[in-house]
């Protein structure tokens, strides 16, 4: 049993008693918050998809604490202009614990759905002369359709992208090797990443 909901412009997977790390919320530790924009829910091995949300569904959570993530370095420079700026950044976050998942009516809600128009009347049938017309079967009421989709993986927050001071040859080598520049330690002036630093990182990765 789980639900996918949207909050702060991101999507999260909520399971009973699960701990989620979200962007900073305007709430104190111990407060209870509710997220009512549920996009998808799984219950009794059935997956219901909202269009875009589920009617009456909500996720209740308790705020555990606030904090700040690991520090990243943001470095900017302009070549041959003498312009260099270096600053640090720590992204704030809020940890919450899922207390309850309310699936509501379990029906999809489409935004701005138009009222159903009555079906046009059919032309009157001609009178039968020899045989009576067979009674028509009653039309079945429209039932809500449950769309089955593959299980959605847990949402992983992506940290802000920082500018890296790196030589052109080192950047090309890192891209060919598929290395993350954030994991490479620069030994050049003011932490600039050199080609030798990339070669060392490749060697360490191969040895590992």
Categorize the per-residue pLDDT at 143 as very low, low, confident or very high, splitting at 50, 70 and 90.
low
User: CATH 4.10.320.10 occupies which residues in the chain?
Assistant: 164-208
**50-79 pLDDT, tens digit each:** 888 998 899 999 999 999 999 999 999 999
* pTM, 2 dp: 0.48
Query: Does domain 164-208 match CATH 1.10.510.10?
Result: no
Q: Rounded to whole angstroms, how far apart are CA atoms 33 and 29?
A: 11
Q: Taking a C-beta distance cutoff of 8 angstroms, is the pair 169, 133 a contact? A: no
């Amino acid at each position: 049993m789980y639900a996918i909901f949207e909050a702060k412009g991101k999507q999260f997977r909520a399971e009973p008693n699960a701990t989620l790390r979200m962007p900073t919320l305007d709430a104190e530790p111990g407060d209870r918050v509710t997220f009512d924009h549920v996009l998808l829910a799984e219950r009794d091995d059935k997956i219901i998809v909202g269009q875009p949300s589920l009617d009456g569904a909500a996720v209740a959570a308790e705020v555990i604490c606030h904090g700040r993530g690991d520090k990243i370095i943001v470095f900017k420079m302009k070549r041959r202009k003498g312009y260099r700026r270096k600053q640090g950044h720590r992204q704030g976050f809020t940890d919450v614990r899922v207390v309850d998942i309310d699936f509501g009516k379990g029906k999809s809600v489409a935004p701005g759905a138009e009222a159903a128009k009555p079906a046009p009347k059919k032309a009157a049938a001609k009178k039968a002369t020899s045989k009576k017309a067979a009674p028509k079967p009653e039309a079945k009421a429209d039932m809500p359709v449950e769309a089955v989709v593959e299980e959605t993986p847990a949402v992983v927050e992506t940290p802000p992208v920082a500018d890296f001071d790196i030589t052109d040859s080192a950047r090309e080598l890192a891209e060919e090797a598929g290395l993350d520049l954030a994991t490479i330690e620069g030994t050049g002036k003011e932490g600039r990443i050199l080609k030798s630093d990339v070669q060392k990182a490749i060697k360490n990765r191969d040895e590992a």
